[in-house]
Structure 1
Amino acid sequence: MCKGAVLEQLGDVLRYDVWITDLLGQLRIFSIKSLNDHHIEEGIGFDGSSVPYFTDVNYSDFIAKPDMSTLRTYPWLVNGKKVAFVIADVYEGYTLRRSPRDPRWVAQRLERDLERRGLKILVSAEMEFFLFKKDSINSIPPLPLERDSGYISVKEGYFRAPPLDQLYEYRIELFKALDKLNLQPHKDHHEVAGGQIEVNIKADFPVRMSDKIQILKFAARQIADKMGLIATFMPKPVIDDNGSGMHIHMSLWRGNLNLFYDSEDEYAGISDITRYFIGGILEHAEALSAILAPTINSYKRLISGYEAPVYVCWGRGNRSAMIRVPIYYRRASKQNVNRARIEIRCPDPLANPYLAISALVYCGLEGVDKKIYPGDPIDDNVYHLPRGVREEMGIRELPENLKEALDYLENDGFLRKVLGSELIDAYIELKRKEWRDFMRTITRWEYERYFFA
């Protein structure tokens, strides 16, 4: 379909929002009245230096070039009219070189590299987040919806039904919106914590799945706002309950063949390629943490007892491990062959999806290339294993905080190579500033603990 026909299909549109994603994974949006051929072919200029760590002020003329395959309208009206949005790729002005700090470019390079190898990867995400009433932020710490009214106690929310499930109507509205946005949602439910939701969207290729994650988060926040609520993707907003993850599922394909499946494997129906792929991810687990768990708050989620991984290991159906091999079905039907996959459980929803997915796939592919053995699978509840037993089994721990994770990332030559030195350096600098800002902050906990000591 030609560009003009695509625009005509949208009908009467009030304006066009242009989306880009910064290093942190946060959306940056500007709006234009119309989308013409010049915008589509040449791009739209903007000040790249005002996007943190995108570029310096003395080289700030950047271009956002719309990816017309992402053009669509929001599933709500503004002043009675439709508003369209499009996701853009970022270029440096004049040279027209792709910006090495554009996270979407990293995922696009990954797909290009996979194509050269005759491979493709399918990725899906389980997105978890909390809902709060707007006035709840006036109290510190705030309590999420349902906990604030006593409807649901700590760790008592999983699969709750209405009327205890106070999130049901919100989930219906969100699911309808995601459907209209063509995100292909296929499941949603109440999660373990009060006020917590999980939404699953159908597997797709890395760039499109990353786009979908950004769209989902935007829609979740907008719909919550219209209902007088706040949707937060903060990994650990409640101290005594489960945090929110962004569990990433992956399977590797050559044509129509799922390379992760092996009908002869008695343990989990997975191939040696799957094991090597897992081995590559586990090899870089500590450095990956800086990308998959990218905030100070992330490491308050990654503690024992809250279904978030702390230990670097893998196993079938084991949610205490960093990587789980789902084993819901054993019968070797065509559908089950297609379902063979791995789940990486440490990412959280504040991770930049373009960087997180790309980093995981690149590490997995290195594992396949080098035949990195992931160690024996762990079927025990790793949270309950004594430290001495874990050490004997060779089970490492993920970093305890963001600073430690950044130290690992800085020294990981492979991730620097595949993601790009310029992007890694900018990302680390940005995150180290975040750590320094936190270390200078005097928290309420410190006043309560030390003020009268």
Structure 2
Amino acid sequence: MTELRDFLELPYGELEDLNLQAKEQRKKRVAADVIQEERLKYLTDEKRIKAVTVLFSDLEGRLHMLDYDKKFLIKSYDNLTFDGSSIRGFTAQRESDLRLGIDWSAFYWAPADVFGGGKVLVFGEVIDKNGGIYSGDIRSVLKQFSQEQFDKHGYTLNAANEIEGFLFEGIDAERMYHETGSFEYVNKGGYYHSLPGDPLREFIDTTAEVQRAMGFENEKDHPEVAPSQFEINYTYGEVVAAADQIQLYKLICRQVATQMGMTASFLPKPVVGVNGSGMHTNVSITKNGKNLFWDPKGEEKISKMAWQFTDRILTHGNDLCLLLNASVNAYRRLDPHFEAPNQIKASAVDRGSMIRIPIGNEKSSRVEVRSVGPDANPYLVLHSIFKTGLHGETAKIKNLRQAERYLPDNIYTALENFRDAEWTGTLLGDDVKARYADLKQASADRCARLLGTIVKAPEVQFHHDVYNQLLWNIF
């Protein structure tokens, strides 16, 4: 039967070339209408493509994918509607019609052995019934903010994320946790320790190959400190592209793990007693190619602008905590015994600080926000960090950068801080702020209020990053 099908299946090297060309167009901000015309022509001419997968994220950062028949999409790309009331955190049932626009610049060719033959991926933009950007689609909100900064000030917002995760035995290990009550490591090594042919190394190698083919421009990969823990790093990018890559990174990891009969988990602390997983978020701002965070004569060799950016994030550290640590389980990770960044400080050396100033040069100088969990909505994370860093307030606290202040150790305190803060309303708008808080309250109320020393089934099964609708519906 397969010989009758002639679907697009490109070698990894060819995929990489195509994805890097698309990435370069995006970096150079080629006009949207030019890219749209080019992509539509490509889809029309390339007969081996059967479907276009359109990706978008809900308010909590859960990735949704819709496959459109290619011929239908070419004819109807400007009139794609869907029911928003079925997406958590989106519209109420009475106003359920939303539209999907296509961000043609965010176009990816994917390996056929991982994503299936004859498919390409593109990110979508959620549009409300009035034709404007939908306030619950934080990707569109972030994109608009990024464009405003470029138009007004010439700023390009850059981010690089170091995303840690765990590889566990068995498919759907998170979904089955309410039955098993534990996760099983595939590897009991540790930092950098992994034999060339073991399952963790094979998973890392395969995932890295897929990322490379999709234009990620990899840097380094390795097992992390905890058993069965991994980190696969790639280069920085403009803020929206960087957030898109986080979503693709997690999707690739999950898909590769599933094909190997395993589960890639981005729970911040799935196993008590070992290091949790973080998503260290490195940020900088450039203008005309110059890194505005670099100053060879500045304190820790970063600029006054970078320190002001840092001070504003420290000021709003507690306000933002629920956005950066979005699940009940995330508060297990903020434990000082495991290099946890729970102190609202900035430091060049102390890894327990919320913000670290890494050693850098003119190109790499940056600020690293370490308190972010890997299950947070990447668009919300980057929007809140950049908008706060540029427009937030600066507290009149003596010795702000080293004052003894701590992030919350439970989601209830984080919720209270988030709801009480005026800044979070400014950041998201009151409507989206309330919706987000309600979703987090529901997750919190389904879980044990005191975390204790055992990971409870509810904090895994109602973890927003897991696609677990059957269990939610029978709660």
1:66 aligns with 2:102: yes
Q: Quick one: which amino acid aligns to residue 132 of structure 1? A: F
Aligned pairs for 1:39-50 (under 5 A) are 39-40=76-77, 42-50=78-86
Q: Is the 8 A contact 1:318 1:325 kept in 2?
A: no
2:54 corresponds to 1:18? yes
State the shift of 1:200 in Å. 1.4
- Taking a change above 3 Å as real, the CA distance of residues 377 and 352 of structure 1, as seen in their structure-2 partners, is same
Partner Cα distance (1:50, 1:408) in 2: 29
Provide the secondary structure at the position in 2 that maps to 1:71.
strand
Match for residue 304 of structure 2 among 272, 285, 308: 272
Q: 1:373 to 1:276 in 2, by over 3 A?
A: farther
The structure 1 residue matched to 2:371, chosen from 346, 349, 353, is 346
Q: Per-residue deviation at 1:74?
A: 2.4
1:111 alignment counterpart: 146
Deviation at 1:9, TM superposition (A): 6.7
Partners of 2:336 and 2:235 in 1: how far apart?
A: 30
Q: Scaled by the length of structure 2, what TM-score is found?
A: 0.81
Question: What is the SS of the residue equivalent to 1:337?
Answer: coil
Where 1:69 maps in the other structure, the secondary structure is strand
Q: Provide structure 1 residue ranges, at least 5 long, that are not aligned to the other structure.
A: 330-335, 379-392, 448-453
Match of 1:260 among 280, 284, 293: 293
Please name the residue that 2:20 is paired with. none
Q: 1:182 to 1:10 in 2, by over 3 A?
A: farther
For the 8 Å contact 2:272–2:454, the answer to whether it is kept is no
Partners in 2 of 1:87 and 1:18 — Cα distance?
Answer: 5
Q: Tell me whether 1:29 sits opposite 2:65 in the alignment.
A: yes
* 2:160 paired with 1:124: yes
Q: Which amino acid aligns with 1:108?
A: K
The match for 1:421 among 430, 437, 455 is 430
**Residue in structure 1 matched with residue 4 of structure 2 by the alignment:** none
How many angstroms apart in 2 are the aligned matches of 1:445 and 1:242?
15
CA drift of 1:373 comes to 7.8
Q: Please report how far the alpha carbon of residue 104 of structure 1 lies from its aligned counterpart in structure 2 after TM superposition.
A: 0.7
Q: Which amino acid aligns with 2:279?
A: M
Q: Choose from 387, 391, 395 the match for 1:362.
A: 387
Higher mean C-alpha deviation, range 171-180 or range 106-115: 106-115
Q: Distance in 2 between matches of 1:442 and 1:236?
A: 11
Q: Which residue is 1:438 aligned to?
A: 447
Question: TM-score of the superposition, structure 1-length normalised?
Answer: 0.85
Residues 197 and 363 of structure 1: is their aligned pair in 2 closer, same or farther, counting only changes over 3 Å? same
Residues 295-334 of structure 1: pairs in structure 2 closer than 5 A: 295-327=327-359
**For residues 323 and 45 of structure 1, do their structure 2 counterparts lie closer, same or farther at Cα, with a shift above 3 Å needed?**
same
1:140 to 176, 181, 185: 181
Question: CA separation in 2, counterparts of 1:88 and 1:218?
Answer: 16
Flag the 1:79–1:407 CA change in 2: closer, same or farther, 3 A: closer
Give the match for residue 137 of structure 2.
102
Change in 2 beyond 3 A, CA 1:405/1:84: same
Instruction: Name the count of aligned residue pairs.
Output: 413
Would you say the 8 A contact 2:272–2:455 is kept in 1?
Answer: no
Q: Per-residue deviation at 1:418?
A: 2.7
Partner Cα separation in structure 2 for residue 441 and residue 47 of structure 1: 37
Residue 163 of structure 1 deviates from its aligned partner by 5.3
Q: Distance in 2 between matches of 1:246 and 1:55?
A: 29
Q: Which runs of 5+ in 2 are unaligned?
A: 1-34, 457-475
- Residue 387 of structure 1 aligns with which residue? none
Q: Residues 260, 443 of structure 1: CA spacing in aligned structure 2 closer, same or farther, 3 A cutoff?
A: closer
Match of 2:85, SS? helix
Alpha-carbon separation, structure 1, partners of 2:390 and 2:196? 47
1:195-226: CA deviation from partner (whole Å, max 9, x where unpaired): 00011121111111111110111011001101
Q: Call closer, same or farther: CA 1:302–1:443 in 2, change over 3 Å.
A: closer
Change (3 A) 1:344 1:165: farther
| SS of residue in 2 equivalent to 1:365 | helix
- CA–CA distance in structure 2, aligned partners of residues 79 and 239 of structure 1: 34
Please tell me the residue identity of whatever aligns with 1:103.
Answer: I
Question: Aligned partners of 2:167, 2:100: CA distance in 1, in Å?
Answer: 33
Alpha carbons 1:159, 1:190 under 8 Å: kept: yes
- The Cα offsets for residues 87-143 of structure 1, whole Å up to 9 and x where unpaired, read as 1000123x2222111111221122023121221221000010000010765632223
> Does the 8 Å contact 2:60/2:89 carry over to 1?
no
Partner of 1:390: none
1:231 is aligned with what amino acid? A
CA positional deviation for 1:144: 2.1
Q: How many percent identity over aligned positions? A: 29
Which of 289, 292, 298 lines up with 2:321 in the alignment?
Answer: 289
Q: In the TM superposition, what is the alpha-carbon distance from 1:11 to its structure 2 partner? A: 4.8
